[in-house]
Structures are given as C-alpha cells and as structure tokens.
C-alpha cells in the first residue's frame, strides 16, 4: 500500500481498531509488550517495518537508512535490555532526514528532551542516560528481522503506533484489515451516539436476549451474539 494512503487511512483509526480487525480476520494479534510507549503522548505512526538488530553500535541504523524507503518505520531490536539505551537524538534526527515515519525500540532511548523537540514519533520501553558499553559480534541478518517481545517482524510487515501502544500487521493483509477496522470504528461510533442519546448499550445489543439464549445454550458466547446482531465492543 502506498505510504501516504496508509497514513491517511490510519489517521482516523486506532491501534485498538487494528487489533479488533485482526481478531475478526483471524490474523494473529501481534502487539508489542505493554511497556513500549510513545516518548511524546499523542504520537501516531504507520509504516513499513525497517528492521535492525542492535549489537552496541549505531552503524546498523545508518546502514538501514541507506536502503530505507520514505514512510518506513525503524524497528530496533535490543532484546528489551534495560541496562543501556540504544537510540539517541542523532539517530532519530537522521531517521527523520531519511524520510522515516517513526522509530520503535525494543529497549531504551536517551536524549528525551531532544527527541521530543525533533517531533518524530518514537516508541520505547523507557529511557536511561548511558548508551552501550559493549560491541558484540553483528549477525549476518541484522538488517533482515527484528524481535519485539515475542514477535519477529521484517519488511513484509506494517507497524502502527498510538497512545495505546504498537501493533504489527502483515503488509499483504493490511488493506483488508484497515477496511475491517473502519467498519468496527463506524459501528462503535454509532453505538456511542445512541448511548449519549439515551439508549443503553445493553438495549442496543439485546443483552437480555443474549442472557436468555445463554441459559438455553450454555456454550453461546457473547462474541457470537455480537456478530449475529452486528454489534461491536469486543472481537
């Protein structure tokens, strides 16, 4: 998908909508660990994953920028380490100069004030003053994949980020997922408007009917009921 189209469509969505769309589409929900948060609240990003595996030097980021496509998002695998920061203001500023849409760090950052001033969305586990004091052997595939928590991602993936965190989706499915997410968003907005107008969500979703049916069919789930009535609150 064209990077600008991707950003435009995500601008009216949230990562929660993407997660719900994945569930509805039977696509694995690949959220970064809850500790991966935006350095600047309100940050949003959407773009193709530009993977890097950090071993102690920023040269891996600079090499990744050499082959980056504008609109990519740098995803840094530092193993979730909390004893060193691995991305600072210069790496972020250079990412911006390369046309990237953001940075995701499975690890820590530093230079928080400068990163906030740069304005490029950065998501990380937190901050620490010291950078690496090591230089480990670099694997041959350091620019092919990155692990974030339990998930391994690469250039065949799209990454989304907002105040709820970071989620990854396969690029091959992203158009379908965005369409589903838009449908879920619209349904939820209609439900919210009806609640504000005085119609409870329980009434909208026929919750009393669901409870009666569940007494008759103990295996019936609320999600099955929601799909039957066209409601949305969970997937």
Residue 46 has pLDDT above 60, yes or no: yes
Annotate 132-195 with DSSP letters as a single string: ----PPPPTTTTT-EEETTEEE-TTEEEEEETTEEEEEEGGGHHHHHHHHHHHHHHHHHHHHHH
Cα gap 113→188, rounded to integer Å: 37
Residue 58 has pLDDT above 70, yes or no: yes
CB 150 within 8 A of CB 159: no
Of 133, 160, 176, the residue at which a domain comes to its end is 176
Q: What is the DSSP letter of 34?
A: T
Q: pLDDT tens digit string along 102-114?
A: 999 999 999 999 9
Residue 235 has pLDDT above 70, yes or no: no
- Which one has a higher pLDDT value, 120 or 233? 120
Q: What is the DSSP letter of 40?
A: S
89 annotated ligand binder: yes
Closest CA to 106 of 126, 92, 89: 126
Asked whether residue 161 falls in the same domain as residue 218, the answer is no
pLDDT at residue 231, as a whole number: 62
| 40 domain residue, yes or no | yes
Q: pLDDT tens digit string along 26-35?
A: 999 999 999 9
SS3 103: strand
Q: Indicate which CATH number applies to the domain containing 80.
A: 3.50.30.40
pLDDT at residue 225, as a whole number: 85
142 annotated ligand binder: no
pLDDT at residue 206, as a whole number: 86
Q: pLDDT tens digit string along 4-13?
A: 999 999 999 9
Q: Average of pLDDT values for 196-225?
A: 89
In the chain, the number of structural domains is 2
Domain carrying residue 226: 200-235
Asked whether residue 165 falls in the same domain as residue 216, the answer is no
Residue 229 has pLDDT above 90, yes or no: no
Cα gap 32→222, rounded to integer Å: 27
20 annotated ligand binder: no
Q: Average of pLDDT values for 175-200?
A: 94
Asked whether residue 87 falls in the same domain as residue 8, the answer is yes
111 annotated ligand binder: yes
């Amino acid at each position: 998908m064209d990077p600008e189209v991707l950003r435009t469509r995500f601008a009216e969505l949230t990562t929660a909508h993407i997660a719900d769309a994945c569930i509805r589409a039977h696509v694995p929900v690949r959220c970064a660990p809850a500790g991966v948060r935006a350095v600047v609240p309100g940050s949003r990003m959407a773009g193709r994953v530009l993977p890097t595996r950090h071993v102690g030097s920023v040269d891996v980021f600079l090499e990744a920028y050499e082959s980056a496509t504008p609109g990519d998002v740098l995803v840094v695998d530092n193993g979730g380490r909390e004893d060193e920061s691995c991305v600072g203001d210069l790496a972020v500023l250079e990412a911006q100069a390369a046309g990237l849409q953001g940075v995701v760090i499975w690890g820590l950052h530093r230079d928080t004030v400068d990163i906030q001033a740069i304005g490029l969305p950065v998501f990380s586990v937190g901050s620490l003053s010291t950078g690496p004091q090591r230089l480990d052997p670099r694997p041959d595939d350091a620019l092919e994949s990155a692990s974030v928590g339990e998930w391994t991602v690469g250039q065949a993936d799209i990454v989304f980020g907002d105040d709820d965190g970071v989620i990854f989706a396969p690029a091959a499915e992203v158009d379908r997922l965005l369409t589903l997410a838009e449908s879920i968003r619209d349904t939820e907005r209609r439900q919210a408007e009806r609640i504000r107008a005085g119609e409870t969500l329980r009434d909208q979703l026929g919750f009393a009917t669901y409870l009666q049916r569940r007494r008759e069919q103990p295996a019936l789930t609320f999600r099955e009921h929601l799909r039957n009535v066209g409601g949305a609150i969970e997937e």
